[in-house]
Amino acid sequence: MLNQPSKYQVFIVEDHLAMRKAYAALIEREPNLEICGLAATAAEALQKIPECKPDIALIDVSLDGVSGIELIEQLQSLYPELLTLIISGHEESFYAQKALQAGARGYVMKQRVQLISQAIQDVLNGKIYLSTQMKKSIFG
Amino acid sequence: MIDNNPLLPKKLPKSNLQDSNIGRLSADENRPDNNTADAVVLTLAAHLAEAQEIERRHLARALHDEVGQNVTAIAFTLDFIQSQLDEPDLPIDLVRTHLKETLDLAEQTTDRIRQIVADLRPPMLDDYGLIEALDWYADHLAQITGLEITVQQTYFAPRLPTAVESMLFRIAQEALTNIVNHAQAQSASITVEAKASTIRLTIADNGLGFEVDQPAASPARFGLLTMVERAKAINGRCTIESQRNQGTRIIVEVPR
């Protein structure tokens, strides 16, 4: 029997149940990705992440209490190897820079459904994921 | 009015703004007599009520005509696609085209909702405070209008109460809107300075300027009076300095 190639483990932090399910469905369609855990709050994420040891965490920018960007700062100090990608409904021109400064490897708008999988793959491949417009604005 | 709110700072002491020959309008100075003041307050109240109604109408129209109609169109298209799934010869290209259109429409709709929400209350005002929100708004407005806008500040901590931050942001937003609509300015500046007992917000431009003594009932005056009233609501003071062809400075001082 051939060995199955191991899949990247993905953790999702999103306070909206329907959105958590939608992201999970989107990720499960990708042959090299697997959901290892879900959380609705930063506290829940900090509790579960050490158990499931994800390769990448998708984090909503707006969470109840501790924000997604604050969560990334905490995760970076605890698990510097963990890749993080912000999923957001907020203004990219403002929040993307904050996310990158906190240690995120990318910022993708929630409504760009077709780009979320691409963003995950790019970050897993060592790239920074931003919209074309934002890349121009930050990197020239 | 938010008077006596324990979350707000105490009332501001007497003005420490420098005297000048520039035309000036404020809550304390150039005070009209009682009858005129009553008329101004009544007119201002009517103007504010009308402005609120216009804002609600605008929001209702945006939600109904843009967001609501788009969601309805998405539901119709999804219903059509579902009906096609039972067809013996599934028209896959047609389904694909309709799905693509539906996704595009969903993206447009969420973009529009984000714009509406940001107009109502920019999320960065809550998340990062007044300075960051002003910085973002100045950038945003500069990109749309081409007006050169600088934001300068002296650091201060802790953050001001939420009600004060909101009101200062609204005053700056209104002042910048006036500059864009009326001043014909090339550049504008927003300065936030921390003094020992006050925070001073100044919005200045190099535009046409105006006579601050123009009649109280004139439309241009309403926006200025609204700023003065907003400042008073947070126990602050708003002073408007302007002269023809010498630009305008709006100075708001609130206690820390």
For residue range B102-146, list pLDDT tens digits in order: 999 999 999 899 888 888 888 999 999 999 999 999 998 999 999
Contact with chain A for residue B67, Cβ under 8 A: no
pLDDT of residue A3: 58
Contacts of B140 in chain A (CB under 8 A): 93
Return the pLDDT at B199: 95
Which structure tokens are listed for B89?
């010869």
A55 within a domain of the structure (yes/no): yes
Nearest to B189 by CA among B171, B174, B201, B198: B201
Q: Residue A95 burial by CB count (10 A; 0-12/13-18/19+): exposed, middle or buried?
A: buried
Within a domain: residue A65? Answer: yes
- Measured in whole angstroms, the distance separating CA B64 from the mean position of its chain's CA atoms is 23
pTM: 0.75
In a domain, A3, yes or no: no
Query: Could you tell me if residue A2 is inside a domain?
Result: no
Q: What residues of B are in contact with residue A62 (Cβ under 8 Å)?
A: 123
pLDDT at B154: 87
In this prediction, residue A86 carries a pLDDT of 97
The fold adopted by the segment(s) B23-33+123-255 is Heat Shock Protein 90 (3.30.565)
Question: Which residues of chain B have a CB within 8 Å of the CB of A42?
Answer: none
| Nearest CA distance, A96 vs chain B (angstrom) | 12
**Inter-chain CB proximity B107 and A113 less than 8 Å:** yes
B91 — contact with chain A (CB < 8 Å)? no
Element (H, E) at B103: helix B92-120
Q: Which residues of chain A does B122 touch, with a Cβ-Cβ cutoff of 8 Å?
A: 91
Q: What span, in angstroms and rounded, lies between the C-alpha atoms of A100 and A112?
A: 19
Q: Which residues of A touch B107 (CB under 8 A)?
A: 111-113
Q: What is the 3-state secondary structure (H, E, C) of chain A?
A: CCCCCCCEEEEEECCCHHHHHHHHHHHHCCCCEEEEEEECCHHHHHHHHHHHCCCEEEEECCCCCCCHHHHHHHHHHHCCCCEEEEEECCCHHHHHHHHHHHCCCEEEECCCHHHHHHHHHHHHCCCCECCHHHHHHHHC
Exposed/middle/buried for A3, CB within 10 Å: 0-12, 13-18, 19+? exposed
Q: Chain A: which residues have CB within 8 Å of chain B?
A: 62, 67, 89-91, 93-95, 98, 110-114
CA B102 vs CA B45, B91, B113, B181, B200: distances in Å: 45, 17, 16, 37, 49
Q: Is residue A90, in this structure, part of any structural domain at all?
A: yes
Give the largest Cα separation in chain A, rounded.
51
Number of domains in chain A: 1
Q: Give a yes or no: residue A85 inside a domain.
A: yes
Its ipTM equals: 0.73
A91, A93, A117: which to substitute to probe chain B, counting the most B Cβ within 10 Å?
A91
Give the gap in angstroms from C-alpha A112 to the nearest C-alpha of chain B: 6
pLDDT at res. B202: 97
Assign residue A31 the CATH number of its domain: 3.40.50.2300
pLDDT for position B231: 92
Output DSSP code: residue B215. -
CA A80 to CA B236: how far, in whole Å? 46
Burial string for B14-28 (b: 16+ CB within 10 Å, else e) reads eeeeeeeebbbbbbe
CB atoms A94 and B110 under 8 Å? no
Q: Determine the residue of chain B that is closest to A97 in CA distance.
A: B136
Do the Cβ atoms of B159 and B130 come closer than 8 Å?
yes
Contact B180, B141 (CB under 8 A): yes
φ/ψ of residue A48, rounded to 5:
-85, -30
Per-residue pLDDT of chain A (140 residues; tens, 9 = 90+): 455 568 999 999 999 998 898 899 899 999 999 999 999 999 999 999 999 999 999 999 999 889 999 999 999 999 999 999 999 988 888 999 999 999 999 999 988 888 999 999 999 999 999 998 888 877 77
What per-residue confidence (pLDDT) applies to B50? Answer: 74
* Domain assignment present for A86: yes
- Structural domain of A87: 8-139
Q: Which residue has the tokens 């969470």?
A: A63
Residues of A in contact with B110 (CB under 8 A): 89, 110-111
Helix (H, G, I), strand (E, B) or coil at B249: strand
pLDDT given for residue A55 in this prediction: 98
Q: Cα separation of A12 and A39, whole Å?
A: 6
Which residue, among B154, B162, B159, B178, has the nearest Cα to B227 in the 3D structure?
B178
* Residue A1 domain flag: no
Positions in chain B short of pLDDT 50: 1-7, 16-21, 29-30
Q: Is the CB of residue B234 less than 8 Å from the CB of residue B221?
A: no
Q: Based on the number of CB atoms within 10 Å of its own CB, is A22 exposed (0-12), middle (13-18) or buried (19 or more)?
A: middle
Residues B35, B37, B39, B45: is their CA dihedral positive or negative? negative
Residues A10, A56: contact at Cβ < 8 Å? yes
